[in-house]
Amino acid sequence: MSDFALKLDPTERITYIGKKLGEEPCPTILKITNPTSDRQACKVKCTSNEMFRIRPPVFALKPGEEISVKLTFNAGKTIPDSGKHYFAVYYIKATDENKAPRACWSDHKGDPTGTKR
């Protein structure tokens, strides 16, 4: 696997802050930018779909394009220990502009081009 080419903001750690954390949904934003010269099919996953909601979870980024992915800590969940859960961003080259991102992933064989946890 090569180096991770996409730009993430924040770069290392997602933090949820709120007075009613665990009682009300608590969203935060992960900005993902494609600085490469190729279209990329991307997906964001987490360790617990019950605890977190990701919107959009699968998408394509054209060269130079940026997207804001909403990562929500769901209401009614116990606040876990710091570092227990994580999000992972995966991407593959998707040069066919007419192919939907999910179809790119379905047809892909092997490891993603890049992965960042």
The pLDDT value recorded for residue 18 is: 87
User: Is 102 part of any domain?
Assistant: yes
Residues 6+ apart with CB under 8 A from 62: 34, 39
User: Is 22 part of any domain?
Assistant: yes
pLDDT tens column, 59-94: 999 999 999 999 999 999 888 888 899 999 999 999
User: Is 111 part of any domain?
Assistant: yes
pLDDT at 1 over 70: no
Q: What is the pTM of this model?
A: 0.92
Domain with 80 in it: 7-116
> Alpha-carbon distance 86 to 95, whole Å?
29
The total number of structural domains that make up the chain: 1
Average pLDDT, the chain: 94
CATH code at position 60: 2.60.40.10
> Alpha-carbon distance 63 to 16, whole Å?
30
User: Is 2 part of any domain?
Assistant: no
User: Is 28 part of any domain?
Assistant: yes
Grade residue 45 by pLDDT with cuts at 50, 70 and 90: very high
pLDDT at 51 over 80: yes
User: Is 1 part of any domain?
Assistant: no
Average pLDDT of the residues in 93-110: 95
> Alpha-carbon distance 30 to 100, whole Å?
22
In whole angstroms, how far apart are CA 24 and each of 42, 50, 68? 28, 14, 21
